[in-house]
């Protein structure tokens, strides 16, 4: 399985390196919101993947697919989370499927 650093997008890596104070402030917000959720880790990651798919934010998919897998999500659950957005967002959600499948199948 990939190490976490290799799953971070180039854009987010640049954000962390070039604007460390902003990145830290952002991560504090992210961590605060994550701790406020009533969802278990697997459900939270599946929901996050669904949102990323609707927004076509492919760069975040590998990291969150691996997090979902680590939390117990099965391959078909990852695919179902992505395709959940078909009705409200249309076929565009399928754009992240290749990245999601590759991330899940990675050893």
Residue 1 DSSP SS3: coil
pLDDT-based confidence at residue 2 (cuts at 50, 70, 90): low
Q: Please count the CA atoms within 13 angstroms of the CA of 42 that sit on its side-chain side.
A: 9
Give the separation between CA 10 and CA 32, rounded to whole angstroms.
Answer: 24
39: left (phi over 0), alpha (psi -120 to 50) or beta: beta
* CA distance readout (Å), 77 to 12, 24, 45, 68, 101: 26, 31, 11, 9, 11
The confidence score (pLDDT) of residue 73 equals 98
Domains and CATH numbers, the chain: 4-105 (1.20.1290.10)
The secondary structure of 36-58 as a DSSP string is H--S-HHHHHHHHHHHHHHHT-G
Place of tokens 């695919």: 79
The confidence score (pLDDT) of residue 9 equals 83
pLDDT-based confidence at residue 7 (cuts at 50, 70, 90): confident
pLDDT-based confidence at residue 31 (cuts at 50, 70, 90): very high
The confidence score (pLDDT) of residue 88 equals 93
């Amino acid at each position: 399985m990939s190490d976490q650093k290799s799953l971070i997008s180039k854009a987010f890596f640049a954000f962390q390196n070039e604007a460390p104070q902003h990145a830290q402030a952002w991560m504090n917000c992210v961590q605060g919101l994550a701790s406020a959720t009533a969802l278990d880790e697997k459900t939270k990651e599946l929901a996050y993947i669904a949102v990323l798919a609707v927004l076509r934010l492919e760069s975040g998919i590998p990291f969150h697919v691996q997090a979902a897998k680590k939390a117990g999500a099965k391959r078909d659950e990852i695919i179902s989370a992505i395709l959940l957005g078909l009705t409200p967002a249309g076929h565009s959600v399928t754009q992240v499927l290749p990245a999601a499948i590759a991330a899940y199948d990675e050893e």
